[in-house]
Structure 1
C-alpha cells in the first residue's frame, strides 16, 4: 500500500468513527485538516507548509487546465 492510499484509508476510518459518534462529516474533515496542519507545523518550516497548502488550494479545480500540462 502506498502512502497516499494509507492516508485515504485512515481518513475513511476516522470519518466512519465520527459518523458513529454523531459528528457531522464536514466538521470532522475540518478538524482533521487542522490537526494535520498542527502536527506538520511541528516538523516543517511554516513557509514550506504554507507553500504546500497554497499549491493544494490553487489546484482544487479538477476541470482547470494548467500551463505546465501538455494536451
Structure 2
C-alpha cells in the first residue's frame, strides 16, 4: 500500500481517494447536482485521465476486473499483474 507521510501521519492512497471523492460529492450536492450523475461524470473523467496515461487494453482489463467483482458477497477473482 502506498503511504504519504505528513507531519508523522500516514495516509494510504486509497484513503486519500475516498476522502477526495467525499469532498467532491459534497461540492456536487451543494451545486445541486444529482448524486448518480455526479458519480457517472467523475467515473467518465477518471477513465479519460487513465486513457491518457496508460495502455487502453490494460485499462480495459482493470475495468473488467472491477466490473466482474461488483458483488461484495463473492470473493475476488484472481487478478493477473
Same fold (TM over 0.5): yes
TM-score (norm 2): 0.79
Q: 1:46 aligns with which of 34, 38, 56?
A: 56
Higher helix share: 1
| Matching residue of 2:5 | none
Deviation beyond 3 Å, 4+ runs, structure 1: 65-68
Q: Which runs of 5+ in 1 are unaligned?
A: none
How many residues are aligned here? 68
Q: Which runs of 5+ in 2 are unaligned?
A: 1-10
TM-score (norm 1): 0.90
Higher strand share: 2
| Matching residue of 1:17 | 27
**Higher-RCO chain (CA-CA 8 Å, sequence separation at least 6):** 1
